[in-house]
Amino acid sequence: MAREHLSNDDFFTQLASLIETTHQKGHGSVYLTQKRLTFGSSAPSSPTGKVPDDPLWDLHPPNPLPLIVRATDGKSHKLDKEGGATAKGGIGRTKNAEKVKLSTVVQPDDIEAFFTRYAEVCKGGMRGLRRRDRSKRKKKDKGKKKGLAESVKT
């Protein structure tokens, strides 16, 4: 279950291709997450850096911590093509083995350069977005304002 993290360059290459394939399909999403990478799953009973007066003591670690950045296409399940119903009467779903999962670890010294390139890749992926058609909404809002103004005059 444990996967190896990609190098930053490989992560950007695969992220760009993931965004491109999602754009070519015409639908779908790419989910990006980032969080601080902590070492060791169990917390010690008396951390050395804990200060009794500071409730947010863990926000000030003695050394900068690396980040883990993840990307996925979010396709964790797919519909059962055989049409099999579940026990609750719903449509059957199975785990999708083709789900794309990418992750990389960014060291504290490389964060600024990483996020510069990360922003470029994300902006490049936004070219496929379409502007929303808000003309109907604007007409509706104008009509409401006009009706409200007339009722105030009388």
Residue type, 149: A
- Report the pLDDT value the prediction gives residue 100, as an integer from 0 to 100: 87
Nearest-CA neighbor of 69 among 36, 23, 116?
36
Residues in the chain: 154
Integer Cα distance of 21 and 73 in angstroms? 10
Q: Is residue 50 in some structural domain?
A: no
What digits encode the pLDDT tens for the residues 51-107?
567 777 777 778 888 999 999 987 766 666 555 555 555 566 676 667 889 999 999
What digits encode the pLDDT tens for the residues 103-131?
999 999 999 999 999 999 988 888 767 77
- Report the pLDDT value the prediction gives residue 152, as an integer from 0 to 100: 61
Q: Is residue 89 in some structural domain?
A: yes
Q: Is residue 53 in some structural domain?
A: no
Q: Is residue 117 in some structural domain?
A: yes
CATH number of 144's domain: 3.30.720.10
Q: Is residue 52 in some structural domain?
A: no
What digits encode the pLDDT tens for the residues 18-61?
998 888 887 788 899 999 987 754 444 445 555 567 777 777 77
Range of the domain at 135: 8-38+59-153
Q: Is residue 48 in some structural domain?
A: no
Query: What b-and-e string marks burial along 115-135, b requiring 16 or more CB atoms within 10 Å of the CB?
Result: eeebeebeeebeeeeeeeeee
Q: Is residue 26 in some structural domain?
A: yes
Are 73 and 22 within 8 A, CB to CB?
yes
Q: Is residue 25 in some structural domain?
A: yes
Integer Cα distance of 81 and 2 in angstroms? 30
Nearest-CA neighbor of 70 among 113, 97, 111, 100?
100
Q: What is the number of domains present in the chain?
A: 1
Residue in this structure with the two tokens 């979010």, named with its chain if needed: 74
- Report the pLDDT value the prediction gives residue 44, as an integer from 0 to 100: 47
Residue 56 CB neighbour total at 10 angstroms: 7
